[in-house]
Structure 1
Amino acid sequence: MTSSNLDRVFICQRAPLLRTLLKMVKNASIAEELVQETYLRVARSQRDNPIDYLEPFLFQTGRNLALDHLRRERMQSRTMLDDVPHEVVESVPAPASSSEDSLHAARVLQRLGTAVEQLSERQQRIFILSRLHGKGAAEIAAELGVSASTVQKELKLIMAICITLIERLSPPE
């Protein structure tokens, strides 16, 4: 997906995204800032990894930014001492997730591990370098001695394989 595709999608979805974020944060100027930050984050993500479904990714990124903002706001409102430095408040971790969330995350992680084991050695290396070490396609390509295009194609295939295996391993609900 190119930058012009992102620009086109962003322009079309800007108003609905702004409404969504405004409902969440209940402040027009903050919602506007979050919309702009959403664009920047998506553009940054798109540089290293192609995004197939740009519109949902845009909205999810915006919602995540709004939730982060609300979490920071909640932590600041819980702080009774005005003399506590802002950096200290920012360093407080988010509340722990519920045991159900933890159990679900553990199951997904286990299924992902099983899915990764099914990949070829090169695919495993690409997956680890990309998703765990945050390296871009060009860096991975240089390290493995292949083209960036090959890495991007492999990543797309790897993600499809992982999603298929995770879905297949998921128990029916």
Structure 2
Amino acid sequence: MSQSRFNDVFISQRISLLRTLERMVNNHSTAEDLMQETYLRVSRALGERAIDHLEPFVFQTARNLALDHLRARRIHSRTMVDDVPPDVVESIAAPASSAEDAAHAEQLLERLNVRLSQLSSRQQQIFILSRLHGHSYLEIAEKLGVSLSTVQKELKLIMTICISVADRSKGH
């Protein structure tokens, strides 16, 4: 099947596909992004092999991407909540902290910086993209060319390191 035939199918099914994605992810902007990714994935697949039933393939590809997005979002939100205990978050910085608390926080950040600098380059990228830039696990996986599972495992390891640094500093 040719690329031009795919373009015709994609254009004719665009509205229906977009509505399907919007229902699944409940966000128009995300649905548009998933549409673009669907187009790219199906185009790539067409370059690799013949696809007999193009319309169902397009919708299945879009559905799979939406499900991956939802799964990554669910994992990301669960990880953000579950990985760092509330007492650790609360002990990092208090608005009315004493000089001793400020010194303790500075020491904690120094130890944390040392431990994070010992991570591999990929681990550092994953940490920065996730925790500082707020990228989803799926976005990170695609950006770095690794599996979603790799991103999850690396972040779990990194958060374990962060928690161990925080736990050791409690006994300051």
Give the TM-score taking structure 1 as reference length.
Answer: 0.50
Greater CA radius of gyration, 1 or 2? 2
| TM-score for the superposition, normalised by structure 2 | 0.50
